[in-house]
Chains A and B, each alone.
Chain A
Amino acid sequence: MFLINCPFCGEREQSEFKAGGEAHIERPKQPTELSDDEWAEFLFMRKNIKGVQFERWNHAHGCRKWFNIARDTSNDQIKAVYKMGQKPPVK
């Protein structure tokens, strides 16, 4: 359990949020030209690192807006919260 600072509503408890997986995965511009392996790579393969990870979160039980978080997966420490479309802060 931890607190997340929603960029729209302010600090709220984690149970109000839903995690949306890894952030900044770009959809291939020409999906039809990809091989099955490359497509699977885009679709399924996610990093699962110990350390700072960039993730999408949704304030599901609040303002229902999506935003990004840089979270340290080893201790749930949130290094940065930034809006959708913004570049990730440098580590």
Chain B
Amino acid sequence: MLNYNQPIKDQKSYQGLQISEINPIMKLIIRGKKRDFLSAVGKSLEMVLPTKANTSTQSEKLTALWLSPDEWMIFSNNALEEKTNTYDTETLLNKNICNLNLGAVTDVTDQYVRISLKGDKIYDLFQTGSPFNFNEFKQKIGSVTQTIIAKVDVIIHNQNQNEVNLFVRRSFSEHLFSWMDDSASRL
């Protein structure tokens, strides 16, 4: 997060839709299969990892997204106060998971960009470029999906009613953002 060049510089606002990047946010990918792994993560973070497909769990500071049966993304709920490259959560997980060979912890803070979408037209926007059926997704707060929007891989998290987090790889973020801007202007 040091020397971080923000790929998305402005925020867009339309009737019923606001799009902006949120940073700095800590993001980690953790992987593991063993039962010990799940309990070690639970104890370290004081939160339970979601084991049901396409769901998420939340604690005061962190949110965990289910990505695959042995893969989760953990991100900080609020923007970090200072710019840094070391995160307490990562250090803690490294100590309790990596050092004990229970699983893997990867810092993806600079790899993924978190884009926040707000408003009642979010799914109208997604509909213009994604093959995913959002009907059930939008009913359930906390649901997660990995899919494609405009041929770009994204992770979508239904944070709240009319509030969605979208994670996209940094190198694709500028393109996706301008694509969403263009698409939203014609909704």
Contact = CB atoms under 8 A, between A and B. Distances in A.
B184 interface: no
Identify whether the interface residues of B are mostly helix, strand, loop, or mixed. Answer: strand
Interface string A1-22: 0000000111111011000000
Chain B, interface size category, equals 10 to 19
B148 A8 contact: no
Chain A, interface size category, equals 10 to 19
A8 B69 CA distance: 7
A63 to B, nearest CB: 4
Given A13-B132, A15-B131, A65 B54 contact: no
30 contacts: A8-B53, A8-B68, A8-B69, A9-B54, A9-B145, A9-B146, A11-B133, A12-B131, A12-B132, A12-B147, A13-B131, A13-B132, A15-B131, A16-B132, A16-B148, A61-B147, A61-B148, A61-B153, A62-B68, A62-B145, A62-B146, A62-B147, A63-B67, A63-B68, A63-B69, A63-B71, A63-B146, A64-B68, A64-B71, A65-B68
Interface of B: 53-54, 67-69, 71, 131-133, 145-148, 153
